[in-house]
Structure 1
Amino acid sequence: MQVHIIDDEPEIRHSLSFMLKSERIESKGYDSAEDFVDQLPHVTPGCLLVDMRMPGMSGLALQLRLHEMGCNLPVVLMTGHGDVSSAVRAMKEGAIDFLEKPFTKADLMAAIDAARDYLEHPPVPPQARQSALARIGLLTKRELEVVDGLVKGHLNKRIAFDLGISPRTVEVHRANAMKKTEVHALSELLHIAFLSGLMDQQDTAA
């Protein structure tokens, strides 16, 4: 993962680059938000480490601009002003973390780890989860129980035994669940279950 350091102070860019290099993390510096936006089509995917207050476009303004452009790279904002209200707004707008200067190397690496986790496991878009919940909500209690068994990886015979019904009845409920959720394969049904949070519930129960 490459870290893009966006700060108008050369000393800050150099210091952060040195700290990251000591952890074998590649980085690239930009002296303004505008400079980064200009180069965006060619940048290597990674994390943005952005100063909150810069001449021209601010760090928060850059974050909003990136959202408008459909860029979802994780953003860590930095400030030397202790601007709590800006920090709160940044987090609401989707910032991964907020670092107040001067911060330690441990603070920096914790933020970078959070950004790496975001890249590896991006959050489910709210619209996709809502759609999945609406489709799962069309199922009857018995159909949900069958899907629950499928989520757990159980075969039809095991689901039938657990529910006290025949394997054929399980097949019927499974077919009905797929029809109601408008999917054509088991993998699609499990994907809908995942988006709805059904799998998360099973992990919690386990």
Structure 2
Amino acid sequence: MTIPSPTIVYIVDDDAEIRRSSWFMLSAAGLSPRVFAGGADFLEELPHLTLGAVLLDLHMPDVSGFDVLQAITARNAAFPVIVVTGFSDVSAAVRAMKLGAIDFIEKPYVDDELITLIESAVARCKDADQAQECRRAAERKLALLAPREREVLELMLAGLPNKLIAHRLQVSSRTVEMHRAKLMSRLDLPNFSAAIRLAIAAGMDLRASLEA
């Protein structure tokens, strides 16, 4: 299966207002959105759906976004999934991407940012060679980090605040802040969301972080 043009985007969210606003925004951008009121509705239709991108809210009642991701993976469906998380919900974003999500976006999101993520997700899905080059580029970036900076990054990805990172590494909170600033500068990243994407793109083993 290949993703048709215009790109179909399946909006899976239990919030009616978000479904409505997302539908209008994606339609205006020239995409072809279709809405689902929850994970169960989407999974019921999944075997019959044309390949497209999925904008998936993680925190839904009954069938959560995590359940949907697991079902997509179990069926070997090649839908590029962008998950919607709460602000600074680091552990949820990392868990979702370990389950197969291509990217994530935090609420409230900017329209242009979402369109860019969808276009990027679809492009990566179409070009496996490009995906491999992205991984190699991300690995080269992470290799620039000093060992202590990488430790701090891994603990940040686990969702630990500076105080707990300091306790874990037996250093001061001020030292953690310095390492955090240095690693963000060294990696030339604008924000922590970008750090998560880089770590996932590089295939960083996050199991230890998730268990921290």
TM tier, smaller: 0.5 to 0.7
Distance of 1:123 and 1:10 partners within structure 2: 38
- Secondary structure of 2:34's partner? strand
SS of 2:88's equivalent in the other structure is coil
State whether structure 2 residue 50 is matched by structure 1 residue 44: yes
What are the within-5 Å matches in structure 2 for residues 1-206 of structure 1? 1-122=7-128
Q: Which has the larger radius of gyration?
A: 1
Which amino acid in structure 2 is aligned with residue 74 of structure 1?
P
Q: TM-score, normalised by structure 1?
A: 0.57
The corresponding residue for 2:177 is none
Give the Cα–Cα distance (whole angstroms) in 2 for the partners of residues 124 and 34 of structure 1: 33
TM-score normalised to structure 2 length = 0.55
> More relative contact order in 1 or in 2 (CA 8 Å, sep 6+)?
2
For residues 9 and 61 of structure 2, the distance between their equivalents in structure 1, rounded to whole angstroms, comes to 21
Task: Kindly report the root-mean-square deviation, in angstroms, between the aligned alpha carbons of the 2 structures.
Answer: 2.0
Partners in 1 of 2:68 and 2:112 — Cα distance? Answer: 25
Gaps of 5+ in 1: 127-206
1:44 Cα offset (Å): 1.7
Give the drift of 1:65. Answer: 1.4
Gaps of 5+ in 2: 1-6, 133-212
SS for the counterpart of 1:70 is: coil
CA distance in structure 1 between the partners assigned to 2:124 and 2:131 by the alignment: 13
Query: Counterparts of 1:25 and 1:6 in 2: how far apart (Å)?
Result: 16
* 2:124 and 2:130 in contact (8 A); partners too: no
Task: Tell me, in whole angstroms, the C-alpha distance in 2 between the residues paired with 1:55 and 1:93.
Answer: 19
Measure the CA separation in 2 of the matches of 1:4 and 1:53: 16
Question: What is the number of residues matched between the two proteins?
Answer: 126
- Structure 1 segments, 4+ long, off by >3 Å, are 122-126
Could you say which residue in structure 1 is the equivalent of 2:192? none
% identical aligned pairs: 38
